[in-house]
Amino acid sequence: MIINRDTASLEAKVYTELEEAILADELKKGEALTELGISEKLGVSRTPVRGALHRLAEEGLIEIAPNRGAVVVGVTKEDLIDVYRIRMRLEGLASAMAAEKMTPEEKEALAESVELSEFYLQKKDTEHLKELDTTFHDAIYKASGSRILYRILSELHRNIKAYRKLSLTVPGRLEKSVEEHREILDAILRGDTDAADRLTSAHVERALSNMLTALEKNNDRTE
């Protein structure tokens, strides 16, 4: 992919390209990254690549070792557990706020995402279900009415995107997830802030449990 030099800074674009590849697990843990290799692949000089690598190192997504270059660290199991625990608290709060503030249009959009999920569940269309899972959570973040909460949760969501999808691969999880979305929706629609908070927190907690189960199975297959 050749980066357009007419847009924002090259360093920012290289950084975004690499960050997204790491978070999507396209660049694997332990994979070596070289300035020359990245610059050739993206069609840029080594200077913006060097700056982007240093930014990624500051965020802990890669390690730069003397005489070894950069190595992908990625998102660790501890990182994932931290993110899910934070999500449990903040997403519960977002659902409670949405139950208080959600507009008729937002309610309709949230209900539609659940109805579509139920439809695609019958069709066993997992790709659409995974997309709608993101749509559902994003709609609640927005409906909370808090720009700060929306920004924090959206960033957390993005950082574990690949692993969230992995959690949905556990047998029976997709069906249960759609059922839980329906329960959360019903609580929000009736304005029950306590139930919306409790159900959402429990939903994220179950997602964490399933994600850890899926990770263990993946590790067993690769050992």
**Which of 72, 102, 122 represents a domain boundary (last residue)?**
72
Q: Are residues 26 and 128 in the same domain?
A: no
User: Residue 86: what pLDDT?
Assistant: 95
User: Residue 220: what pLDDT?
Assistant: 52
Q: Are residues 63 and 168 in the same domain?
A: no
Residue 3 buriedness (CB in 10 A; 0-12 / 13-18 / 19+):
middle
CA gap 4, 13 in Å, rounded: 9
Count: domains in the chain: 2
CATH of residue 53: 1.10.10.10
CATH of residue 156: 1.20.120.530
User: Residue 222: what pLDDT?
Assistant: 42
Q: Are residues 125 and 46 in the same domain?
A: no
Would residue 4 count as lying in a domain? no
Hey, which bits of the chain come out as E strands?
A: 32-33, 62-65, 69-72
User: How confident is the chain (223 residues) per 10-residue block, as mean pLDDT?
Assistant: 53 86 81 90 88 85 81 84 94 98 96 97 90 94 96 87 72 92 98 98 93 74 44
CA 202 to centroid of chain Cα atoms: 18
CA gap 205, 152 in Å, rounded: 18
Closest CA to 142 of 191, 97, 79: 97
**Which of 26, 55, 72 represents a domain boundary (last residue)?**
72
CA gap 216, 14 in Å, rounded: 32
DSSP-assigned states of every residue in the chain: -PPPTTSS-HHHHHHHHHHHHHHTTSS-TT-EE-HHHHHHHHT--HHHHHHHHHHHHHTTSEEEETTTEEEE----HHHHHHHHHHHHHHHHHHHHHHHHH--HHHHHHHHHHHHHHHHHHHHT-HHHHHHHHHHHHHHHHHHT--HHHHHHHHHHHHHTHHHHHHHTTSTTHHHHHHHHHHHHHHHHHTT-HHHHHHHHHHHHHHHHHHHHHHHHHHHHHH-
- Please name the residue that has the structure tokens 């691969």: 169
User: Residue 218: what pLDDT?
Assistant: 60
pTM of the model: 0.74
User: Residue 219: what pLDDT?
Assistant: 59
Show the domain range for 47. Answer: 10-72
Query: Which tokens hold the place of 132?
Result: 């709608």
Rg of the chain, C-alpha, whole Å: 20
